[in-house]
Structure 1
Amino acid sequence: MISKDIALGLLFLFQTGFGALGNSFLLGLYTITFFIGLRLRSIDLLLSHLTFVNDLVLLSKGITQTIAALGFNNFLDDVGCKLVFYLHRVARGLSLCTTCFLSGFQAITLSPRNSRWAELRARAPRYIILFCFLCWTFHLLTNCYILLYFRGLMGSKNNTDRNDLIYCSSTIDASFNVAVYVLIVFLPDILCVGIMVGTSGYMVFILYRHHQRVQYIHGNNLMLSSSPETRATQTILLLVSMFASFYCLNSILLFYMESQKSTSWLVHMSAFLAACFPACSPFVLIVHDAQVLNTLWLCGIE
């Protein structure tokens, strides 16, 4: 085994463990908060769902990717391969949908009382559970093709016409593969990313306009860097830029891998990019979300 395999394996192990720890911490915090009777925001249900699916994204591929990076390739049979890729694709889509709805929910919450979105403020929390159910149903159904066309390499002798994914392989021909990817992955992804970027830009505009009004009322003594509106804007921009950057890069790689013969380097790079946002997002929320810190303090008192 060469040193670069060990370094790559340790990188995946650190990314998976670090991200799973952060997401599990937040998920446990929301669960404890619910059971001890503290008041939860409506958005906390979305955040807890996001941390759960981010954990699935990390754990569904992180462990197997670590093993593969260390040089052990033929360790999954057909059932294991189908399960790993199916759970990962479902969780990846759920993470995008939840982030999209989270951005939209925040935009509705921040909208002025005289805007046309104000009517949705009271009704939006009622649709959270329904939205999560519809997202699960959609992604569980649309990713069923993985259960048909993905195979494990354990005991396999004939890999002709297979797209090698290091420890698994797909047997879909290129033309059918591209059509499936465009219809059930690429178009929904583009729609969700577009909604997320648009609503986030709308929130940035609202927060900036509100800051200008407050600054006009209080004069120049109000520091731009210390205002709550500015900190909220920076958090939104950070999350959106992180998600959009990692997700778009990974989507480009996946599209190329689905339509062409993939290499081990591309497989590892795609897995790493797919796990970057789930691994980093909980720590962004922990640092920038004051509600999380307040909940920690209250739980400590209880």
Structure 2
Amino acid sequence: MKPLGLLIGMVFLIQTVTGFLANIVLLFHYLSLYFTAYKLRPTDLIAEHLTIANTLIMLSRGTPQTMQGFGLKYFCQVSRCTLLLYVYRVARSVSVSTTCMLSVFQTIKISPMNSSWKELKAKLPKNIGLLTCFSWILHILINCIFLFYDIIKYTSKNITELKDFGYCSCILRDEIIEILYTAFVLLPEGLCSGLMIWSSGSMIFFLHRHKHCMQYIHKTKDFHKTCPETRATHSIFILVCTFISFYTLSSFFYACIANFRNPSWWLMKTSAFFATCFPTVSPLVLMSCNSTAARLWIKLSGFFRSM
């Protein structure tokens, strides 16, 4: 194996192991709260679904990229590649929608009681579970359409046009199908990104106004009541900014790959790296305002360092 290929494989291995373990630790934290009869907050419930989606992304994208980096091509068959891409696209879409949901919910939550969000502020927490389940069902069904199309096309005739993703090869779709895929999948993701940009600006405005108001409050106990909410808002704001940054880069490289029938090796590797950056970083950001999960991660990190 060439030194460069080994280096790329090690980079993907470190990224995949870190992202997978961080998401598992955070998911274990939320599940432990659930099974100990602790009532999860709406933000915890959304973050739990985000963690599940990110774990699937690491398994469906990070794992095969790591294997391919070390010269293994288990997913080279078209059927395996199609299924792998289906899992990745569902998980990516859910990750986008839940991150958007988390950002919008936190913005509405910290908005003033006399704002136009007053009624929605009272009703939204009760429907968070329904919205997250709806997100999974919607993206599973939408991507099923393209999965069945690929299966039918694969079994109906000899395949001569395949698109190489490095770790696997899938069927090259017709132009009309690609347009439909863009309309049903990529446009909603773009809409979610726009909502996140709006919510980020709103959070900055609310936090700035809150800080200005707190200058006139001298009671220590009242100040400390706002601290956890402020820390959570800062964490979600950082999470959204991280998502927008990596999503923009990932979308740019995805668009470049879509325009080439046989993309270059460097383009494929760069695209794969940025596609799994957010699932790797997001659990670490969420742990920053969650002391219990952070302690679990520190213990796990110490255990692996001592091995």
Q: TM-score, normalised by structure 1?
A: 0.84
* Corresponding residue of 2:126: 126
Give the SS at the match of 2:216. helix
Q: For 1:294 and 1:117, locate their aligned partners in 2 and report how far apart those are by CA, in whole Å.
A: 36
Alignment check: 8 A CA contact 1:94 1:135 kept: yes
- The 5 Å alignment of 1:123-202 reads 123-144=123-144, 145-149=146-150, 160-173=160-173, 175-176=175-176, 178-202=178-202
What's the CA shift string for 1:95-128, capped at 9, x where partnerless?
0000001111111111111111121122112222
* Corresponding residue of 2:272: 271
1:107 paired to 2:107: yes
Q: For 1:170 and 1:83, locate their aligned partners in 2 and report how far apart those are by CA, in whole Å.
A: 10
* Corresponding residue of 1:30: 30
175-184 vs 46-55, greater mean Cα deviation: 175-184
Q: For 1:110 and 1:183, locate their aligned partners in 2 and report how far apart those are by CA, in whole Å.
A: 33
1:212 paired to 2:203: no
Alignment check: 8 A CA contact 1:150 1:168 kept: no
Pairwise CA distance, 1:176: 3.1
- The 5 Å alignment of 1:193-272 reads 193-218=193-218, 231-232=231-232, 234-261=234-261, 262-272=263-273
Alignment check: 8 A CA contact 1:211 1:229 kept: no
Pairwise CA distance, 1:71: 2.5
Cα gap change, 1:82 to 1:193, in 2 (>3 Å)? same
Q: For 1:13 and 1:77, locate their aligned partners in 2 and report how far apart those are by CA, in whole Å.
A: 22
Pairwise CA distance, 1:11: 1.2
Give the SS at the match of 2:116. coil
Cα gap change, 1:37 to 1:68, in 2 (>3 Å)? same
Pairwise CA distance, 1:136: 1.5
Q: For 1:64 and 1:120, locate their aligned partners in 2 and report how far apart those are by CA, in whole Å.
A: 42
Q: For 1:177 and 1:83, locate their aligned partners in 2 and report how far apart those are by CA, in whole Å.
A: 18
Q: Where in structure 2 are there 5+ consecutive unaligned residues?
A: 153-157, 220-226, 298-307
Question: In structure 2, what residue type is equivalent to 1:253?
Answer: F
Pairwise CA distance, 1:32: 0.8
Pairwise CA distance, 1:135: 1.3
Q: TM-score, normalised by structure 2?
A: 0.83
Alignment check: 8 A CA contact 1:53 1:92 kept: yes
Q: For 2:14 and 2:294, locate their aligned partners in 1 and report how far apart those are by CA, in whole Å.
A: 25
* Corresponding residue of 1:47: 47
Question: In structure 2, what residue type is equivalent to 1:19?
Answer: G
Pairwise CA distance, 1:230: 6.5
Q: For 2:122 and 2:44, locate their aligned partners in 1 and report how far apart those are by CA, in whole Å.
A: 16
Give the SS at the match of 1:143. helix
What's the CA shift string for 1:258-285, capped at 9, x where partnerless?
2322223222211111110111111111
Question: In structure 1, what residue type is equivalent to 2:209?
Answer: R
240-249 vs 29-38, greater mean Cα deviation: 29-38
